[in-house]
Chain A
Amino acid sequence: MTAPAPSLLVEDLAFAYPDGHQALFGVDLRVERGERVALLGPNGAGKTTLVLHLNGILRGGRGSVAVAGLPVDQRNLQEVRRRVGIVFQDPDDQLFMPTVGEDVAFGPRNLGLPEPEVRARVAAALAQVGMGGAADRPPHHLSFGQRRRVAVATVLSMHPEILVLDEPSSNLDPAGRRELAEVLESLPVTVLMVTHDLPYALQLCPRSVVLDGGVVVADGPTRELLADPVLLARHRLELPYGFDPRTVP
């Protein structure tokens, strides 16, 4: 019996924008099923460009992306977008429907699922993020932290193979940050988390990958990477004042 395909397999991915700016220069990344991986790197490293390749929003450069064995190309686009759940940074971009429930139902309905199944998935996804009972509320009545958790639910309802989070802790207050961490830790799903928040990466992701200048420059246990001041300094990564990754439990 062969091992299951990795949740995410990126091979030699290179990409230049139409204006000639090249953002990726051959990225290799393999994320096994059930792993939680942090994607670190300074602004302009190519993190967002990489993320937009994972579900085929950007295509056409060199190299390949496969999600659970399925190559990302024009024919598979709809299935790839079901398998890759991207949670964007600003929940107001993610939550565009009039109510929370309709927003969580948006993905499943696009998949053409029957209505009872859609309703069951909406209820389950909202419960998973601790927002059960909020289905009929308009997004602008929720706190920022609640909106961020609902944004996670909008992709959970599609039963993704891998959850991709863009700066999940940004703009959250400490309580909202902890609540989101509890939700993410409870999810039985592969996670790729793009973040500048190094303590958050250490808390949630056993493994980290550093992207800089459009290539992967480091890949290893998060604690080891964060304990390497030379590596951090070289790639404009900084720990918060007083934070020592070796003493964190």
Chain B
Amino acid sequence: MTAVHGGVLGAAYLAASSPVHRLAPHLKLVAVLGFALVVVATPVDAAWSWAAYGGYLALVLLAAAAAGVGPARLARGLAIEVPFVLFALLLPFVAQGPRVEVAGIAVSESGLVAAGGLLAKATLSVLAAVVLAATTEPRALVQGLERLRLPSLLVQILMFMVRYADVVGGELGRMRVARESRGFQGRHLGALKVLGPAAGSLFVRSYERGERVHLAMLSRGYTGRMPGGPATAVPAQDWLTALTLPLGAAAVLASGLLLG
């Protein structure tokens, strides 16, 4: 009944000690955000667009290789993209404008370009995020966000989510076992009458736990601000390593704009 090593949130993490693993989390956050911004800023309808997107893909795959994140792991990470894919697939059919024939079906040309762009941008950004998640533990990510001056309240909320995801998950699991031990099977619509109150009681339990945690915090002198530990300085070399990804992407974009 114990959660897997690292817990439900830690499942995305791939324990290893590659150069990417060793980078400070806030550097990786900046790198991924920068990369995604460059990707999103790249036009989809220029002649050189496809070359640029190919360059980005090469960069992110290089980063994944350096981090020791295999193709299977990347593909699994892409699953989160599925709703966007469905939306993108609709675009060529619903968009206006001149039509082109693809495999005997007339589809909107602008819709096709928009769908391709959406897919490419989403896939590249998700790939970068998968590398980040696979090389950074959840709590390190929160520390990175704190280091990047995300408002303290948001950092605390995220921190508690990381800490209590497994505790709440464990409660959910015990409630499920207790239900099923008394013959419950949640396979028909009537099950909602049971599952609804169960969700409600999980909410109430979590709310009460929140109150108890707050009491425990107050008892140890909490005054509304999370006391931070010492922040270690990051060598310039690490910044350079981390920024290779967004700077490389920016170079690809710049050469496209200048040469294309």
Seen from chain A, the residues whose Cβ lies within 8 Å of a Cβ on chain B are 52, 55, 57, 78, 81-82, 84-86, 88, 90, 92-94, 96-99, 102, 105-107, 109-111, 115, 118, 138-141, 154-155, 158
Contacts and interface: CB of A to CB of B under 8 A. Distances in A.
Contacts of A139: 163
B202 interface: no
A81 B3 contact: no
Given A81-B221, A115-B230, A140-B3, A88 B216 contact: yes
B221 A111 contact: yes
B219 A109 contact: no
A111 B227 CA distance: 9
Contacts, number: 78
B139 A52 contact: no
B185 interface: no
A85 B221 CA distance: 10
14 contacts: A57-B218, A81-B218, A88-B219, A93-B216, A96-B163, A96-B164, A99-B139, A102-B229, A105-B227, A107-B221, A110-B221, A138-B7, A138-B139, A158-B221
Contacts of A154: 220
A110 B222 contact: yes
| B contact residues, range | 20 to 34
B166 interface: yes
B212 A88 contact: yes
A109 B227 contact: yes
Contacts of A78: 221, 223
B147 interface: no
A88 B162 CA distance: 21
A81 B219 contact: yes
B209 A107 contact: no
9 tightest CB-CB pairs across the interface, nearest first? A109-B227, A110-B221, A98-B139, A107-B220, A93-B212, A86-B219, A94-B216, A81-B221, A140-B166
A60 to B, nearest CB: 15
Interface string B205-220: 0000100110111111
A157 B152 CA distance: 24
Contacts of B118: none
A92 B165 CA distance: 12
A84 B216 CA distance: 12
Nearest to A139: B163
Nearest to A151: B216
B221 A98 contact: no
A99 B10 CA distance: 14
Nearest to A138: B139
A136 B9 CA distance: 18
